[in-house]
Amino acid sequence: MRVRVTTTVLGLTAVTVLVLPACSTTSSQTTPTASSPSRSGTPVNGERETSPLSSAALAKLLLDEGDLGSGYIRTPERPAEHDDVTIIGCTALDTLSSSAAASPSFAFPRKAKVSFVYGGDSSSAVSEELYSDTAGKLSDSTGRIFTAMTRCPEYQIVSGSTSIDVTTQRVSAPRLGDEQWSMLLTFSAGGRDRLIKQTAIRSGNVLLTVSGAPALVDQHLDTALAKATATR
């Protein structure tokens, strides 16, 4: 089955940005520490609800070169024509795409993102995204997205003339924030494989995702979360 999805849905954004440049040139569950997430904008587990942050406020909480250390270069945002991809062979993502179209909360309009490469090597990349909404919406949407993306162990991403084979695996996430999710994705195209890790942490009304080379994700996750939550 082919389904056209927009990569503004959490999960496909960062991994597609990280993988497509390199490839073009050559039982699932979430793991929250909290109990079952809330559906809607109601608080999760009695958490005190606070107003969502604006995109401008989120942008100030992103990592920068000074946070990462020497050798990191900020990369420009991908052009708009790369925002849409087609998913083949994953009914769960088909259902997710239909839900996203029906629910504006899936897109998390309050957001900010940044990407870096280390040492000029595109395979040593790390991307951070911040979102803000009610705790309930962040919890529910993120849980459904990670569940859908890890429910299909194998599927394809097609963008323009590029076809990428994808395998997914849920992995344990560090016990940070209020809820957390993590997965490994292997992208294969043109005889080359690329391993990407994506970890998401929700802390109150802010959701942080860090994606990229697994070692870099693990190395910078704590710093990213500390900066994203420093004002609260």
Contact assessment for residue 87 and residue 93, using Cβ atoms and an 8 Å cutoff: yes
Give residue 150's pLDDT.
87
Residue 23: pLDDT over 70: no
179 residue type, one letter: E
Give residue 36's pLDDT.
37
For 88, the token pair is: 């083949």
Residue 22: pLDDT over 80: no
Q: Give the predicted TM-score (pTM) of the model.
A: 0.79
For 136, the token pair is: 């309930």
Q: Percent of the chain at pLDDT above 90?
A: 41
Give residue 182's pLDDT.
94
* Residue 84 φ then ψ, to 5°: -105, 135
Residue 61 DSSP symbol: T
The ranges assigned to domains in the chain are: 2-228
Among 38-52, 71-85, 108-122, 188-202, name the one with the lowest average pLDDT: 38-52
Options 3.40.1000, 1.20.1050, 2.20.28, 3.40.640; CATH for 2-228 is: 3.40.1000
Q: Which comes out higher in pLDDT, residue 188 or 221? A: 221
CA–CA separation, 26 and 162 (whole Å)? 10
